[in-house]
Chain A
Amino acid sequence: MFDTLQVAGGLASIAGLAFSFLAFRRAERARSVAEQVRRDLMVRSFAEELALACEKASELLDFLHHNRFSEARLRATELSASLSEMPNRRSRHASEEIRNSLLTTRTQVDSIEAILGRGSKTTLKDGPSREFMLQCARSVIHTLREMLGTLKADLD
């Protein structure tokens, strides 16, 4: 009788250990899935922010095309602010390449803002700087779109 109880106890311990191991494996898997979902959400929200920045950059280009320099300056200021925020808020999820691109595009947008701040409407409209601002704004849009594409590919 005592031996039977001892064997049953031993078996119960082994079963308990096996269950604990399975529970641990499940918890690990759940943790990893939760981590992946969280990461995807962060990347998605980063992508949404970048998409907004792309829209602002497109509006900036459009305003420059139509010689609406005060609106263009406002957009440039907004875009520069978003591009300054992003690398700091998303640094954990942004690769060095993305942080470099964000910093470079912000510097490009700042250069547009500086020219818009210096010139009057007449000098901007007829001067050569308009063409360089347009070229720079196009380069900003391309870089932002490329980054957005990379992030979306990562999500897919």
Chain B
Amino acid sequence: MTEKIQYEPDATDMVVKLLEKTVAGKIPWKPTADNSEFVVSLKGTTTLRLYTTSETGYNEYNEREEFEVPMLSLEDEKGRRLWQAGQQDVKTPGALRNLHKAARRVANRVDDRITQIVKALDELN
């Protein structure tokens, strides 16, 4: 008799830690050819991919609308997707969306650019 797997792995801990380390600038997220997708490899064998998918829901006026929702997936060194999680799998509200935003900032080196611009503006008379 085979045993049923009762629990999905909990994504909360990983997403919260990823967010902390990303904000601290310790995770080198990189851009891909897809504007909303960012990747990083860890431990030399695993790739994390942050991307968005479209979901239909209702806005504040109770109208049907398409929303972009963030997803996190885990791939092995051969590029096979092993596991994925959405916001519903993360107990901390908004954590995955914040992680996606932070990854975008890191991948596009937004903070560096802002610092450079502020510095350039300071140097102007």
Contact = CB atoms under 8 A, between A and B. Distances in A.
Interface of A: 87, 91, 94, 96, 99-101, 103-108, 110-112, 114-115, 128-129, 132-133, 135-136, 139, 143
Given A96-B43, A100-B42, A100-B44, A107 B33 contact: no
Interface of B: 28, 30-35, 37, 39-45, 47, 49, 75, 77, 79, 107
Given A87-B44, A96-B44, A104 B39 contact: yes
B79 A110 contact: yes
A36 B33 CA distance: 41
A135 B106 CA distance: 14
A94 B41 CA distance: 15
B31 A104 contact: no
Contacts of A100: 40-44
19 contacts: A94-B44, A96-B43, A99-B45, A100-B40, A103-B41, A104-B39, A106-B79, A107-B41, A107-B49, A108-B31, A108-B32, A111-B33, A111-B34, A111-B39, A115-B33, A128-B35, A136-B31, A136-B33, A139-B31
